[in-house]
Structures are given as structure tokens and as C-alpha cells.
Amino acid sequence: MELRARVDQALKQAMRDKAAGRLATLRLINAAIKDQEIAGRSADGTIPVGDAEIMAILAKMTKQRNESVRAYEEGGRLDLAERERDEIRIIEEFLPRQLAEDEIAAAIDKAIADVGATTIRDMGKIMGKLKERHAGQMDFGAVGPQVKARLG
């Protein structure tokens, strides 16, 4: 089942279950997807948002909430931090499983070998290959320094 349909199905189920917190988060996901569709409209109509774009939206939402958790914890607002963690858990239901550190290292090594990278100048090619193969499975902001360290 495509990702958009899974989100819609979960939204309907949350309405039936009267799960207010889950429903609110699913509505936020739906709104973000619709915003992306509106931004992608062309003169001849709406271009549907694909699974790759939805995964990018969900990854961005997760990253924003992780930053909020840190800020709330630093500010002593543990109740708000916990609410953000709950939202992260709901959002992550629709993302692919995150790779473990050893899997990330293996993926980096394979991308370097496939691209034939030898210098830091090849970093863009490596990151492109990783994003193509592992979209939504790793934090590319954290992977960048690891790639740089291997090439440097």
C-alpha cells in the first residue's frame, strides 16, 4: 500500500478509536503532504506527491520534533518534550526502519566503492548514491561527516 493511503487509513482508524493525540499528529502529517501538493501545483493541475516526497516530509517532521525535544528538555519542560516524543513515534510508523551504525558504515563503504571515490571532491556523488538507496533510513546530516572522515 502506498504511503499516502497508509496515512489516510491510520487517520480514519484514529477517528474511530477516538485517539485524540494520534489523530492530531496524523492530521499534521496530512496537512504537510497537502502543503507539498499545493507548492507543486502547475498550470495544468495538481501533481501528486509520491512516496519519496512523503518520506522526505516525514523525515523533516521527525528532525524538527527531535530539535524541539532537546529545547524543551533544556528548558525544563519535560511534559512538552514527552508530547513531542509521542509525535515522533507516530511519524516513524510510516518511515522505513532506521539503519544501525554498522549498517550505515557498510552502506557508506559500498557507495564509495560503487562511485570509485578517492577524494573529498567525490563526496556529492557518494551522498547522492546514499540518498538514492537509503532515503528515510538514515540521518544524512550525521552521515556527511562520516563520509568526509573516510575520504579525508
Q: What residue spans define the domains of the chain?
A: 3-92, 101-151
pLDDT confidence of residue 43: 60
Grid cell listed for 126:
557518494
85 by Cβ neighbours in 10 Å (0-12 / 13-18 / 19+) ranks as middle
pLDDT digits (tens, 9 = 90+) for 36-59: 888 877 666 667 788 878 888 998
pLDDT digits (tens, 9 = 90+) for 64-88: 999 999 999 999 999 999 999 999 9
Q: Which residue has the cell 570509485?
A: 116
Grid cell listed for 128:
547522492
pLDDT confidence of residue 65: 94
What percent of the chain clears pLDDT 90, i.e. is strictly above it?
45
pLDDT confidence of residue 142: 84
Task: Name which residue leads in pLDDT, 77 or 151.
Answer: 77
Q: Regarding the domain delimited by 3-92, which CATH topology (the fold level of the hierarchy) does it fall under?
A: Hypothetical Protein Yqey; Chain: A; domain1 (1.10.1510)
E strands in the chain: none
**What is the CATH number assigned to the segment(s) 101-151?**
1.10.10.410
Task: Name which residue leads in pLDDT, 146 or 41.
Answer: 146
Sign of CA dihedral 16, 17, 18, 20: negative
Mean pLDDT of the chain: 89
Phi, psi of 89 (to 5 degrees): -60, -40
pLDDT digits (tens, 9 = 90+) for 113-144: 988 888 889 899 999 888 888 877 888 888 88
